[in-house]
Structure 1
Amino acid sequence: MVKALPEKCRKCGMLSAQQAQALHGTEGDGCWKPSVCYSRRSYARNRDRINQTRSRKRKEGELEQIPVEFEPLSQIVFGVLVVYRQAGVDTPVHAIAAEIWQGQEKVAIVPPVHCSGMVPSQVHQYVGKMLSVLEERYGIKKFASQTRLDPQLCGLRPCPLQG
């Protein structure tokens, strides 16, 4: 049987890398091991999604797949709000972007914009402005979902986090 992930590692995975190193590094309890901790923390953060994907792939291999053509599904246009921010309740928003999908295909993007220096009301105003443009062009009145990405994945250059 597989050994469960220690509770300490699960909690550590929810911290930022700097916080985890300060708490468990040389100044902390000394259990930080770079060769193990980066991947273990990533797994702790994403384990539910990883395990669900593994399980789905196992089941897909066993089951017959029956494609269903449904014309209205391919006509549905929706938007996904992409927010670059660290995990946590009150972490600041690093950048915001959006993706526009039609059915199962991405048809357009709103490129990311850094939110450094913006107060929360300004971020909400920008999202409102983005929605008004998307409503005008695609008829999207609200986002279907929101995706959170780590600020380290920000593709904007220059970026305050990238030095």
Structure 2
Amino acid sequence: MLDAAQAQVLHGTQGDGCWNPKVCYSRRSYARHRDRKNQQRNRQRQEVVIELLPPEIETFQELYYAVLVVYRESAAESVVHAISAQVWQGQIMVALVPPIHCVGMVPSQIHRYVKKLLELLENKYGIRKFASLERLDPQLCPIRPCIHHQDAIHAAG
């Protein structure tokens, strides 16, 4: 925090005697500019990390996989509102099983329906199980009429 003249008086021959002109000037410069130099180094490190690497996905472009889409609340014991499925080949969706309402179905009926879906997907695309499960809020249910949408409530009233 002191300028060079004050530091020399405090730490020079009249002070504690630790002033060494060969190293003290550069140490003081480093201390004054430390934040800026560290920031520059961090930016250079980040630029190296951010380099884009082209993925080699040609071998996976022919791969078929399915995603099970379940419309249900996020609570653990919530009921399944609707079920849908998507079939993908690489990065392109090639088929969509339209959603059906599951309101009123017991869990065993839902499991039976999912097994039927898998049988269909295995016969058509060779898919034996779902690659992932995606949970969506019932408010996003695309089926009309639907109990989660105001237009269905107004139509019934």
Q: 2:60 is matched by which residue type in structure 1? A: L
Is residue 139 of structure 2 the alignment partner of residue 152 of structure 1? yes
Counterpart in 2 of 1:117? 104
* TM-score, structure 2 normalization: 0.62
Q: 2:51 is matched by which residue type in structure 1? A: E
Q: Which runs of 5+ in 1 are unaligned?
A: 1-58
Counterpart in 1 of 2:58? 71
Residues 7-35 of structure 1 deviation map (CA, whole Å, 9 limit, x = unaligned): xxxxxxxxxxxxxxxxxxxxxxxxxxxxx
Paired with 1:115 and 1:70, the residues of 2 have a C-alpha distance of 37
Please identify the structure whose Cα radius of gyration is greater.
2
Is residue 148 of structure 2 the alignment partner of residue 161 of structure 1? yes
Paired with 2:135 and 2:55, the residues of 1 have a C-alpha distance of 31
Structure 1 runs of 4+ with >6 Å offset? none
Q: 1:146 is matched by which residue type in structure 2? A: L
Paired with 1:103 and 1:70, the residues of 2 have a C-alpha distance of 8
Mapping of residues 1-163 of structure 1, within 5 Å: 63-162=50-149, 163=153
Paired with 2:92 and 2:83, the residues of 1 have a C-alpha distance of 21
Instruction: Work out the percentage of aligned pairs sharing the same amino acid.
Output: 55
Paired with 1:90 and 1:160, the residues of 2 have a C-alpha distance of 19
- Secondary structure of residue in 1 paired with 2:120: helix
Q: 1:69 is matched by which residue type in structure 2? A: E
Counterpart in 1 of 2:21? none
Q: Which runs of 5+ in 2 are unaligned?
A: 1-45
Alpha-carbon shift at residue 66 of structure 1 (Å): 2.3
- Secondary structure of residue in 2 paired with 1:137: helix
Q: 1:82 is matched by which residue type in structure 2? A: V
Q: Which moved more, 1:67-76 or 1:133-142?
A: 67-76
Paired with 1:130 and 1:70, the residues of 2 have a C-alpha distance of 28
Counterpart in 2 of 1:35? none
How many residue pairs are counted as aligned between the two chains? 104
Alpha-carbon shift at residue 106 of structure 1 (Å): 1.1
* TM-score, structure 1 normalization: 0.60
RMSD of equivalent CA atoms:
1.6
